[in-house]
Amino acid sequence: MKTESRTALNTRLDHRDPLVFDTHELGRRPGALQRLTRTVDAPRDLGVPGVIGVPEGTPLELELRLESVMEGVLVTGTARARAEGECVRCLEPVGQQLEAEFQEMFSYPDADDRGRLTAEPGDDAEDDEDRLFVEDGLIGLETVLRDAVVLALPMQPVCREDCPGLCSECGARLADDPDHHHDAVDIRWAALQGLAGSLGDGEKDDMSGDAPRSADAAEKQEK
């Protein structure tokens, strides 16, 4: 079963979406350029869920270069925002400035990879599966942005490179107490101590049980 293609994610673009851009001004003359800057609210789930990402609504700065080429619009851009997560060693909050660069080709629906006109867009579904298209002069950057951000973020964020993490015994944060330790007990000695304790309890029981029998014996002798 095939996963949802990037083409499917690029359909029904809404011009009101802050991550949708209008290329009509650029036109279809090869070599035409357009530079754009835009600050938008970050969409939800922008990053690695449960690890680190850009919080929803955080200002996301975009610098874009749109270039008209034979087969479509080549978009080159940089995204900047603040990412937040938690240290994988000590679980403390982690924050860092993110800068993600990306480049993506948005093809004209009526042109192939060499800029030649085709009869109908999407004739070859397999070729189109990983392609993004210009739709009615609009391009959507959300899919491209998500891919770029995930690649730019650390998969195992740490609060500092030498973070010692948490104590495996009690969970204490070792950075707060560098001298933190637990007395190590050899499990072989621990077993012998347990055995000795069991024997000691047994001797006490025997002694407590002997006292009544000794009294009975003394009473019989007197009779």
pLDDT at 182: 77
Burial class (CB in 10 A: 0-12, 13-18, 19+), 134: buried
For tokens 């994610």, what's the residue? 9
Higher per-residue confidence, 8 vs 180? 180
Q: Say yes or no to pLDDT of 211 above 80.
A: no
Reported as a single tens digit per residue, the pLDDT across 170-195 is 767 766 677 777 766 666 666 666 66
pLDDT at 190: 62
Reported as a single tens digit per residue, the pLDDT across 94-127 is 999 999 999 999 999 876 544 444 434 444 555 5
Return the structure tokens found at 96: 């860092």
DSSP string spanning 46-97? EEETTTEEEPTT-EEEEEEEEEEETTEEEEEEEEEEEEEEE-TTT--EEEEE
Return the structure tokens found at 177: 């107490």
Whole-number percent of the chain with pLDDT over 90: 48
Higher per-residue confidence, 215 vs 119? 215
Across the range 40-45, mean pLDDT stands at 94
The highest-confidence range among 37-46, 105-114, 121-130, 196-205, by mean pLDDT, is 37-46
Higher per-residue confidence, 7 vs 143? 143
Q: Which helix (H) or strand (E) holds 147?
A: helix 142-152
